[in-house]
Amino acid sequence: MKTPLNLLGSRLRQLLGLALMVSLWTTTLTARADLSPAEKPDLRLGFIKLTDMAPLAVAWEQGFFMDEGLFVELEAQANWKVLLDRVITGELDGAHMLAGQPLGASIGYGTQADIITAFSMDLNGNGITVANDVWDIMRPHLGQADGKPAHPISASALVPVVEHYRERGEPFRMGMVFPVSTHNYELRYWLAAGGLNPGFYAPQRGDTSGTLQADVHLSVTPPPQMPATMEAGTIQGYCVGEPWNQQAVFKGIGVPVITDYEIWPNNPEKVFGVTRQWAEANPNTHLRLLRALIRAAHWLDQNNNANREQAVAILARPSYVGADAEVIANSMTGTFEYQKGDVREVPDFNVFFRYHATYPYPSDAIWYLSQMRRWGQIPEARPDSWYLATAARVYRGDIYQQAAQSLIRDGILAASDFPDFTAENFERPHQGGLIDGVPFTPRTPNAYIDSFAIGLKGSATP
């Protein structure tokens, strides 16, 4: 176990590295003469201890922030609500956020705030894990391939488990990390695709539990606490990002049954968020932050993930994710272990740059908004135009484009590394279909919402 002295030594090494890079600052800024200096060079950025905070850690460790004249302090946060609140109050300049957080805040679900994002931090990266006793009931209902459970596993295999708990007079409980998290919507999507109702929100009636009419009761648990909460029996499964699914395998307490790549290949996951007020007051700082993060994402996927082992070593430090390197490497290096010994190749489990992962496509935002409406977080029907306008207001591809084009002009990255900026860039490319086969139609979100067997439709309320 790391001691306080170890932690201090790690921080001192970071500070020494910072001092060594200062001498390069003036030369670096001169080389980027088309960019104005940062209005606010001293920054505090927040993150949650998950592997998909990697672009922030890499931008610090590889000196990309310093290349932009930014003196950055990265600070782990207790949970997603605390993180969002501290961005809103200005205690943090920006943060690693759930892709739905800027949208939820902007439309006034939960905390009302004007948050924008101009950078998508990653694609994929989540899994759904169940406790061992749940897996024992599910397993006889699964197909087999080469002597192993066939994937993807449908939530229909969970139906006998839910019935078992119902017969005992107990709700079947699963954890997710936040009401507007990808994890909440992916877990709900998977359950509903298997015929299980994950419940509705009714904020207009003061019910924000999300458990109305639920077959499966979902509740919020901070990511690092997921394995221990399941082991204690408070929840029987969860949806979370890495390394907390692999931690369940490592500890022998649970089995990941499906990854989000199997639910929706190349789905958007986290973003980097700031307040609109901060972005408007610090446009050059914002662009420089984006440049550093884009370079970090590129480094993470460069040469067919050649830098991932180095990234694992960085993330394992207590100041970042702080989990065992072996656990982080299970998914970060292109494999995923579903149960002890069942290690499978999943090269795109974590995507940071390829497939234009960093661009904030409006279609990403519209999918999140559609799920908010499907489960009642948006209590009233809205026209298609509202979804498109909200996506454009919050997901700022125009700001991303400025940062990307400056990197191209500086010869740091090539135009081919980015989307064609003469095109509309509305819908995320390189995505597969969703697990239930329902086509996602971002230009007609109401038709998409109405196409589901389970969920609100039209003007319905729970």
Domain 4-123+268-333+350-417 identical in fold to domain 126-266+433-450: yes
87 against 25, higher pLDDT? 87
Q: Which of 35-44, 117-126, 186-195, 329-338 has the lowest mean pLDDT?
A: 329-338
- Distances, alpha carbon 355 to alpha carbons 59, 123, 216, 350, in Å: 20, 9, 34, 12
- Which CATH architecture is the domain 126-266+433-450 placed in? 3-Layer(aba) Sandwich (3.40)
pLDDT in tens, 283-294: 999 999 999 999
pLDDT in tens, 437-454: 999 999 999 999 999 999
Question: Model confidence at 5, in pLDDT bands (50, 70, 90)?
Answer: very low
Question: Model confidence at 185, in pLDDT bands (50, 70, 90)?
Answer: very high
Minimal CA–CA distance to 105: which of 125, 85, 91? 85
Q: Which of 234-238, 277-281, 327-331, 423-427 has the lowest mean pLDDT?
A: 327-331
- Cβ contact 273:87 at 8 Å: yes
The Cα–Cα gap between 116 and 321 comes to: 25
pTM of the predicted model as reported, rounded to 2 decimal places: 0.92
Q: Would you say the C-alpha torsion 198, 265, 290, 298 has a positive or negative sign?
A: positive
The Cα–Cα gap between 270 and 249 comes to: 24
Q: Is the pLDDT score of 73 beyond 50? A: yes
Average pLDDT, the chain: 93
Q: Is the pLDDT score of 98 beyond 70? A: yes
Mean pLDDT of 215-233: 96
Question: Model confidence at 110, in pLDDT bands (50, 70, 90)?
Answer: confident
Q: Is the pLDDT score of 32 beyond 70? A: no
Mean pLDDT of 92-103: 97
Q: Is the pLDDT score of 11 beyond 60? A: no
Q: Write down the domain spans for the chain.
A: 4-123+268-333+350-417, 126-266+433-450
Q: Is the pLDDT score of 15 beyond 90? A: no
The Cα–Cα gap between 339 and 342 comes to: 5
The Cα–Cα gap between 222 and 49 comes to: 10
Mean pLDDT of 387-414: 98
- Output the pLDDT for position 12: 52
Structure-block tokens of residue 245: 């699914």
What lies within 8 Å, CB to CB, of 279 at 6+ separation is 116, 118, 286, 396, 399
Three-state secondary structure of the chain: CCCHHHHHHHHHHHHHHHHHHHCCHHHHHHHCCCCCCCCCCEEEEEECCCHHHHHHHHHHHCCHHHHCCCEEEEEECCCHHHHHHHHHHCCCCEEEEECCHHHHHHHCCCCCCCEEEEEECCEECEEEEEEHHHHHHHHHHCCEECCEECCCCCHHHHHHHHHHHHHCCCCEEEEECCCCCHHHHHHHHHHHHCCCCCCEEEHHHCEEEEEECCCEEEEECCHHHHHHHHHCCCCCEEEEECCHHHHHHHHCCEEEEEEHHHHCCCCECEEEEEEHHHHHHCHHHHHHHHHHHHHHHHHHHHHHHCCHHHHHHHHCCCCCCCCCHHHHHHHHCCEEECCCCCEEECCCCEECCHHHCCCCCHHHHHHHHHHHHHCCCCCCCCCHHHHHHHHHHHECHHHHHHHHHHHHHCCCCCHHHCCCCCCCCCCCCCCCCCCCCCCCCCCCHHHHHHCCCCCCCCCCCC
Topology of domain 4-123+268-333+350-417 in CATH is: D-Maltodextrin-Binding Protein; domain 2 (3.40.190)
Tell me what percent of the residues of the chain surpass a pLDDT of 70: 93
What size, in residues, is the chain? 462
Q: Is the pLDDT score of 29 beyond 70? A: no
Q: Which of 9-18, 152-161, 246-255, 369-378 has the lowest mean pLDDT?
A: 9-18
pLDDT in tens, 41-71: 999 999 999 999 999 999 999 999 999 999 9
- Output the pLDDT for position 330: 87
- Cβ contact 294:458 at 8 Å: no
- Cβ contact 230:254 at 8 Å: yes
- Distances, alpha carbon 409 to alpha carbons 34, 300, 404, in Å: 9, 22, 9
Q: Would you say the C-alpha torsion 222, 228, 234, 238 has a positive or negative sign?
A: positive
Q: Is the pLDDT score of 22 beyond 50? A: no
Q: Is the pLDDT score of 271 beyond 90? A: yes
